Copies of this chain bind each other. A is one copy, B any other.
Amino acid sequence: MKKQLIMEKAIELFAKQGFEATSVQQITEHCGISKGAFYLSFKSKDELIIEIIDHFMIQFTSEIDYLVRSEREEENLLYKFYYAIFNSFQKHSDFGKILIKEQSRSFNQDFIVKMRYYDRLMDKTILSMVEHLYGDDKVKEIKYDLVFCIKGFMSMYSQLFLFYNVPLDLDLLSTSLVEKTNLLARNSTVPFISKGLIEVFEEPGLEKLTKDQILLLINQAIEEMDESVEKESLVLLKEQLHEQTFGRAIIKGLLENIRIHPQTKWISYLLGSFFNL
């Protein structure tokens, strides 16, 4: 697939020079293909960056969210969370660089909307983790601040291995951040970010995808897939979406079936969120 090649090479260039500073010409030269061939795979340069963002963020968001939803051992959850985050950043450091570089650029409206969307998803995941870890009541006042601090830790320490190619001890890093997070969660008394403040910049945006939108994705995936356990699971889940027949256990099992496959990972996440599992 040419698409794959183009995306890989483009990520390298975007990470080095930034999106706007990289021309389609450069990308195609780096791939060893012609300019026209680029436009056989992508409608525009903007579509390319959007697809790149989606490709990685879907993996990333699903992975972290699954971890938080499934890990019941409270003591280990936070550690595993940090470890997974930084491990992912390290593995896909070029993409991480793009993410940080283009953070809040305004060159493309779709891009901003996309980034906001994934950012909110991450907020939601972290928040539910915080509530689960420390008890909804206990940290009620400071939980939003906690989310902010955790994100602050993530962004500051990410920059270490994104911009200085230092091999890092992820175990130590995670342990260190777990301690810091626990300290803040258990001892903070002065919240700054209130529920009201959150709502101001939460904006619309993050309402769940409607049943129809998810259905569309499922049908699409079913068509593209070969016969397999995953496809079977998808069909069953599609029926479940139409009328509730299975219990939680079966649904969870089905979601687990399709979670491994990269193509359906995202659907697993969306359905998990839809069914409140």
Q: Chain A: residues with CB nearer than 8 A to chain B? A: 16-18, 20-21, 97, 100-101, 103-107, 145, 148-149, 151-153, 155-157, 160, 163-164, 166, 169, 172-173, 175-177, 179-180, 183-184, 187-193, 197, 200-201
Whether the Cβ atoms of A179 and B183 lie closer than 8 Å is no
Q: Provide the residues of chain B in CB contact with A191, threshold 8 Å.
A: 176
Copies per assembly: 2
Q: Are B148 and A106 in contact (CB under 8 A)?
A: no
B contact residues around A97 at 8 Å (CB): 104
Contacts known (A149-B156, A173-B192); A100 close to B101, Cβ less than 8 A: no
A160 to B201, Cβ gap below 8 A? Answer: yes
Q: Determine if A192 and B172 form an interchain contact, defined as CB atoms under 8 angstroms apart.
A: yes
Give Cα A269–Cα B160 distance, bound, in whole angstroms.
Answer: 28
A183 contact from B105, B106, B187, B197, Cβ within 8 A: B187
Q: How far is the CA of A20 from the CA of B16 in the complex (A)?
A: 16
User: Which 4 A-B pairs give the minimum distances between C-beta atoms?
Assistant: A152-B152, A152-B156, A164-B201, A176-B192
| A173: chain B residues within 8 A (beta carbon) | 192
For A180, list chain B residues within 8 Å (CB).
145, 149, 184, 188
> What separation, in Å, do the CA atoms of A187 and B179 have in the docked complex?
9
